[in-house]
């Protein structure tokens, strides 16, 4: 087993007095796709949002425990959440292109945070990111057009291109296909498979077939606790826990 890139150590996430994630310790190996599954409200999205410190943007939200990126606690006082988020990118359930920006500027948005990158460099990175997100051929003739003119699936791939442009190490996908049609979903899934060569991917999904198709390891959450974690094939064929089996066979959730 490769050394973990990202790990959590006895991590709990709270909203005020409510505990959404209870004492979760997990490791994520590099260049793998990790799926987080479980019924609605099981804490999997909250867990995901603790990994890039988006959780703390919710009023009243706090955590206990540690999140380790390459062994260093991302909640240490000297760590800037802005810097962390550039190493741990995120794509949301609904496509969120910036409506005032062109397709090009959307992808370049994260790059604009560093000074001293030449225009040609930015243009190169934008093209590379769009190619990696399998969107380049569809938009190369209209980079200056509004991103809102794209279909939902294209917008989601644009958001993926935007999140990989600053070269993060980890990409968090929070139900990235929940608002897409089957074709759009299929393209994102193919893309996820491609992207794991360069990135470590953690994907939250409601769709168990999706988890089975795209991921290498799967974690099952239930009522805020981690019930089972293991290689995807094993978790779906021979789950160790009763609850996992009940969920993946559709008996509840």
CB of 119 to other proteins, least distance (A): 6
DSSP of 162-187: HHHTT--SEEEEESTTTTS-HHHHHH
CB of 92 to other proteins, least distance (A): 6
End-to-end CA distance of the chain: 32
Cβ closer to other proteins: 58 or 209? 58
CB of 99 to other proteins, least distance (A): 6
> For binding to other proteins (CB under 8 A), which residues are involved?
52, 54, 57, 59, 82-86, 89-90, 92, 94, 96, 98-100, 102-105, 109-110, 113, 119, 122-123, 126, 143-146, 159, 162-163, 166
Could you give the CA distance from residue 190 to residue 44 in angstroms, rounded to a whole number?
23
Mapped onto helix, strand or coil, the DSSP state of residue 159 is helix
Could you give the CA distance from residue 227 to residue 95 in angstroms, rounded to a whole number?
30
CB of 113 to other proteins, least distance (A): 6
Structural tokens at position 5: 């890139």
Structural tokens at position 174: 């929070």
Helices (H), 25-90: 44-51, 81-87
Cβ closer to other proteins: 65 or 97? 97
Cβ closer to other proteins: 34 or 162? 162
Cβ closer to other proteins: 52 or 218? 52
CB of 69 to other proteins, least distance (A): 14
- Of how many residues is the chain composed? 253
Cβ closer to other proteins: 99 or 182? 99
């Amino acid at each position: 087993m490769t050394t973990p890139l990202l790990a959590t150590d006895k991590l709990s996430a709270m909203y005020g007095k409510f505990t959404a994630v209870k004492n979760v310790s997990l490791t994520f190996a590099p260049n793998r796709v990790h799926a987080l599954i479980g019924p609605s409200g099981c804490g999997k999205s909250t867990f995901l949002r603790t990994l890039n410190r988006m959780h703390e943007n919710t009023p009243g939200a706090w955590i206990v425990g540690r999140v380790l990126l390459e062994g260093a606690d991302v909640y240490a006082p000297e760590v800037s959440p802005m810097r962390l988020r550039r190493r741990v990118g995120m794509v949301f359930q609904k496509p969120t292109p910036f409506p005032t920006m062109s397709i090009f500027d959307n992808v370049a948005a994260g790059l604009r945070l560093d000074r001293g990158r030449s225009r040609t460099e930015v243009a190169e990175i934008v093209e590379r990111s769009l190619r990696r997100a399998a969107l380049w051929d569809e938009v190369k003739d209209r980079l200056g057009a509004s991103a809102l003119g794209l279909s939902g699936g294209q917008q989601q791939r644009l958001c993926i291109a935007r999140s990989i442009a600053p070269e993060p190490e980890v990409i968090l996908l929070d139900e990235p296909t929940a608002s897409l049609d089957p074709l759009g979903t299929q393209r994102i899934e193919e893309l996820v498979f491609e992207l794991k060569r360069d990135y470590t991917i953690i994907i939250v999904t409601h769709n168990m077939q999706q988890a089975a198709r795209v991921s290498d390891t799967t974690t099952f959450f239930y009522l805020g606790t981690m019930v089972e974690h293991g290689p995807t094939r094993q978790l779906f064929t021979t789950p160790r826990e009763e609850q996992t089996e009940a969920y993946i066979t559709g008996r509840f959730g």
